[in-house]
C-alpha cells in the first residue's frame, strides 16, 4: 500500500473528514478507539462500545462502505465500489454519559 490518510477523533456523536482521493478499490482501515472521561483518561467498562467508520464516496453517497466496530484495536480490509473522492465519517452508536467521549485514531491505506 503506497498511500494513506491518517485521522483522529474525540466525539460524542459523529465527525466527518474533509474530502480526499482514494486511487485503489481495496483499502485497509486500522487504528484504536476507547471511551474517555472529560480529562481524556480511559474509562473502564466500555470494552464493547459500538461505533462505525464510514467511507463515503462524495459524488455517490449510496456507494459508501461501513465498518461496524467496538472499542480497542481494529484492522479491516474494505472493497470500495470505485476509486474517487471520499470522506471518513466516524459515528458513535452507543449511549455515553454526558462527561464521556469516544476517542481514537487510525489510518486508511491503499
pLDDT tens for 50-67 read 999 999 999 987 889 999
User: Measured on CA atoms in the order 82, 88, 89, 90, is the torsion positive or negative?
Assistant: positive
Residue 68: pLDDT band (50, 70, 90) is very high
Rounded to two decimals, what is the model's pTM?
A: 0.92
Q: What digits encode the pLDDT tens for the residues 74-85?
A: 999 999 999 999
pLDDT score recorded for residue 71:
98
Q: Alpha-carbon distance 69 to 49, whole Å?
A: 8
SS3 string, the chain, reads CCCEEEEEEEECCEEECCCEEECCCEEEEEEEEEEECCCCCECCCCCCCEEEEEEEECCCHHHCEEEEEECEEEEEEEECCCCEEEEEEEEECCCCCCCCEEEEEEEEEC
Arithmetic mean of pLDDT, 25-35? 98
Amino acid at each position: 500500500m503506497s498511500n494513506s490518510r491518517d485521522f483522529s477523533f474525540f466525539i460524542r456523536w459523529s465527525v466527518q473528514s474533509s474530502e480526499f482521493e482514494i486511487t485503489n478499490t481495496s483499502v485497509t482501515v486500522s487504528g484504536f478507539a476507547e471511551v474517555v472521561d472529560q480529562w481524556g483518561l480511559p474509562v473502564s467498562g466500555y470494552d464493547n462500545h459500538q461505533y462505525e467508520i464510514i467511507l463515503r464516496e462524495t459524488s455517490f453517497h449510496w456507494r459508501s462502505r461501513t465498518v461496524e466496530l467496538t472499542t480497542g484495536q481494529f484492522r479491516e480490509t474494505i472493497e470500495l465500489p470505485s476509486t474517487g473522492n471520499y470522506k471518513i465519517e466516524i459515528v458513535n452508536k452507543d449511549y455515553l454519559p454526558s462527561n464521556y467521549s469516544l476517542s481514537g485514531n487510525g489510518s486508511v491505506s491503499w
